Every structure is written in C-alpha cells, then in structure tokens.
Amino acid sequence: MNLMSLYQWGGLNLGLFEAVNAVRGPVIDASMLAGTALGNFLNVIWVALVMLLLIGVRRGCAQSGWVAHLPDERRLRQLLQVFLLAWGIAGLVVTAGKLGFDMPRPYAVLPAGSVNLLAMPESPYSFPSGHAAFAMLSACVFWPHSRRAVRCLLVFAVLWVGVSRISVGAHFPADVVAG
C-alpha cells in the first residue's frame, strides 16, 4: 500500500472536500475566513502578548480577588515557554512535512473552476495543514489549565479552523487531520 492510497481514504478525502467546499453563502464564507484567520501560525504573537499581559497583571494585582483564578506568575511563565517551544517545533514539523511530502493544494489537482477558493494559500504545499496544527497545539497547551467552558471553546476553535481550511479551498480533509 502506498502513501497516496492512504491519503485518498478510499475516495472519502475527495468526497468530504467537495461536500464542505460546496457550501457557500455570505455568512458562511465570512465565518470560514475568520476560522482560517484564527488558525494562522503568526497568531503566536497575539497569544504571547496576552500571556505577557496576564503575567504583568498577576504580578501587579497579586492580592486582588479578580485574578485569583489565574495560575501564579511562575506557572504562567512556564506555560508561555511551553507554548513558544511547541509553536517552534510544530513550525519545523509542518514545514518539513510540506516540503517532504510535496502534496499539492486542491485547486492545483482538481479541474479548473471546481474549487471554491476564498483565500490564496501562502504556499503550494498542502500536507499537513499548518493552520490546523496551530489550532491543535494551542488547544493542547492550554487544555490542562482551562476550565470546562474554555475547553469547549478550544474544541470549537480546532473544529472551526479545520473545517474552514477545507471550506476556503486550501486543504483536503487528510491535510487537516494530519495537521
């Protein structure tokens, strides 16, 4: 069995892509573009800035009751370090995968006009999805430190980013699952 037969999922990979990519509408398209933006690897900047802000707030307001639910400053710093390390490793793994597997984007292999392409991808390589990888690494890093409501939001964000990458025409489902 070769890699392509695993990638095809017995035709399910293409079938799911076509089904998700065909669902269109102004609200759906806007929400899918927002989901794609949420999974951008460069969002590491915003996440790190928010975490640095929380560290500063925790330090400055240590006695206030409204920050009591936050981890202490040391744990927040460790969480930031883990997040940045995971981001760096994921970036290397995703880049190596994209270059190593050299899998084309849907618009490059499917007939012209059959892919609803809402946003031009940054690179011609499809496998694995970097956006899905960033969403998943974020969820995994913050999961142990989150309450149930935040965990539900993390799951929703991972699913939203994954579906959005298919909807905007950037990835096949197999790319998203690999990410």
Domain extent, residue 135, equals 11-178
- 6 located within any domain: no
Please state the domain count of the chain: 1
Q: Residue 72: its pLDDT value, please?
A: 75
- 1 located within any domain: no
- 79 located within any domain: yes
User: pTM above 0.85?
Assistant: yes
- 104 located within any domain: yes
- 41 located within any domain: yes
User: How many whole angstroms separate alpha carbon 114 and alpha carbon 108?
Assistant: 11
- CB neighbours (10 Å) of residue 36? 22
Give average pLDDT by consecutive 10-residue segment, the chain, 179 residues.
63 90 95 95 94 81 58 85 96 94 89 88 90 96 91 96 96 93
Contacts with 75 (C-beta within 8 Å, 6 or more apart), sequence order:
145
- 70 located within any domain: yes
Contacts with 151 (C-beta within 8 Å, 6 or more apart), sequence order:
143
Q: Residue 4: its pLDDT value, please?
A: 65
Q: Residue 158: its pLDDT value, please?
A: 97
Q: Is the dihedral of CA 76, 89, 122, 140 positive or negative?
A: negative
Q: Residue 145: its pLDDT value, please?
A: 86
User: How many whole angstroms separate alpha carbon 18 and alpha carbon 21?
Assistant: 5
